[in-house]
Homo-oligomer: A and B are copies of this chain.
Amino acid sequence: MIVIPGPSSPGLGEKVAEGLGVEVVPVEHRLFPDGESYIRLKGSVRGEEVVIVQTTSPPQDRHLIQLFLLARTAKDYGAEKVVAVVPYLAYARQDKRFLEGEALSIDVVIRLIEASGVDALLTLDIHSPDVLERFTIPVKSLSAIPLIAEHLKAKGFEGAFSLSPDKGAIELAKMGDAVLGGGYDALEKARDRHTGEVRTREKRLPVEGRDVIIFDDMISTGGTMALAVGLAKKCGARRVVAACTHPLLVGRAVERILEAGADEIVGTDSVPGPHSVVSVAPLIVEGLSDLL
């Protein structure tokens, strides 16, 4: 087995290889002046089970095309099997049609991943688990929430209250609570289909003078998270941590969350960045054992 660390996940790819105790095939990558990606595998993959680690965080389309180029090139050069580790799967939120004529974008992305030669896929905290059933190849989504909770526990947050900003994500708060042991709950949120505006229903939370960890799968513009932080503070929370697996943190997300009263933003290296303090490498190493 060998690992190919893709251009979007070079550090994580190296860590996964280390955790598996296998060699890396480095990728030579550059962008041409017009913006096209150039990809070259700098080592042999012939007859190997190949693990490509390539997240598809922004710029999503570029990272997707690079994933397709890597998978097909590995197959061209004789890889026996290609397993794609895509910690953050782009377009996973476009999984339903709300209006006639809308693209079911995640289904298109799934077909393209399969067409590019990927034989199995591992992802993390996928937004809607039912998306997994639309793959024809073996696929698995693992949760990084226990790892994040362990990290926070070690930093003095044992006994904190676990909160998810949305009913759909209550499982995340539950997983956080299994580590932190301070109880859990979920807020209810309503998103306007046309304007995209998010509202959170007011709720009394038993967090007066206590620490609160808000767990979500991802933070994009930070609107949802900022509302949850604000509500926790309003209910008297002491320290509030905004935690997620995929810290996309686009635009003013960090500022919005901190302005709402959060003390800290904690994410994983699913999406590399200044807040990606927890590594998902151990989780991926463990998860690969079933897929391979």
Q: In the complex the two chains form, what is the Cα distance from A36 to B90 in whole Å? A: 8
Asked whether A34 lies within 8 Å of B99 as measured between CB atoms, the reply is no
Minimum CB–CB distance for A77 against chain B, Å: 7
Asked whether B107 lies within 8 Å of A72 as measured between CB atoms, the reply is yes
Asked whether A36 lies within 8 Å of B91 as measured between CB atoms, the reply is yes
Q: Given A64-B61, A116-B108: A72 and B33 within 8 A (CB)? A: no
Is A204 an interface residue when CB atoms closer than 8 A count as contact? no
Is A200 an interface residue when CB atoms closer than 8 A count as contact? no
Q: Which residues of B contact A61 (CB under 8 A)?
A: 35, 37, 59, 61-62, 64-65
Is A141 an interface residue when CB atoms closer than 8 A count as contact? no
Asked whether A34 lies within 8 Å of B58 as measured between CB atoms, the reply is yes
Q: Which residues of B contact A111 (CB under 8 A)?
A: 72, 115-116
Is A221 an interface residue when CB atoms closer than 8 A count as contact? yes
Count of residues in A whose CB is under 8 Å from the partner chain? 49
Q: Specify the chain B residue showing the minimal Cβ separation from A29.
A: B103
Asked whether A42 lies within 8 Å of B72 as measured between CB atoms, the reply is no
Q: Specify the chain B residue showing the minimal Cβ separation from A251.
A: B33
Q: In the complex the two chains form, what is the Cα distance from A70 to B102 in whole Å? A: 9
A76 is contacted by which of B60, B104, B248, B250 (Cβ under 8 Å)? B104
Is A40 an interface residue when CB atoms closer than 8 A count as contact? yes
Query: Which of A32, A38, A61, A68 has the largest count of B CB atoms less than 10 A from its CB?
Result: A61
What are the interface flags for A45-69 relative to B under an 8 Å C-beta threshold, 1 for contact and 0 otherwise? Answer: 0000000000000111110110011
Asked whether A112 lies within 8 Å of B116 as measured between CB atoms, the reply is yes
Q: Which residues of B contact A115 (CB under 8 A)?
A: 111-112, 114-115
Asked whether A221 lies within 8 Å of B34 as measured between CB atoms, the reply is yes
What are the interface flags for A69-91 relative to B under an 8 Å C-beta threshold, 1 for contact and 0 otherwise? Answer: 11011001100000000000011
Q: In the complex the two chains form, what is the Cα distance from A103 to B71 in whole Å? A: 10
Q: Given A104-B76, A111-B116, A115-B111: A60 and B39 within 8 A (CB)? A: no
Q: In the complex the two chains form, what is the Cα distance from A211 to B204 in whole Å? A: 80
Is A220 an interface residue when CB atoms closer than 8 A count as contact? yes
Q: In the complex the two chains form, what is the Cα distance from A91 to B221 in whole Å? A: 32
Q: Which residues of B contact A34 (CB under 8 A)?
A: 58, 60, 220-221, 248, 250
Q: Which residues of B contact A101 (CB under 8 A)?
A: 28, 40-43, 73, 77
A112 is contacted by which of B62, B68, B251 (Cβ under 8 Å)? B68
Is A94 an interface residue when CB atoms closer than 8 A count as contact? yes
5 closest cross-chain pairs (CB), A and B: A115-B115, A41-B101, A61-B61, A39-B103, A69-B103
Q: A32-B220, A40-B103, A73-B102 are in contact. List 15 more A-B contacts (CB 8 A).
A: A34-B220, A34-B221, A35-B60, A35-B61, A35-B250, A36-B93, A36-B94, A38-B94, A61-B65, A68-B112, A73-B101, A73-B103, A73-B104, A77-B101, A108-B116
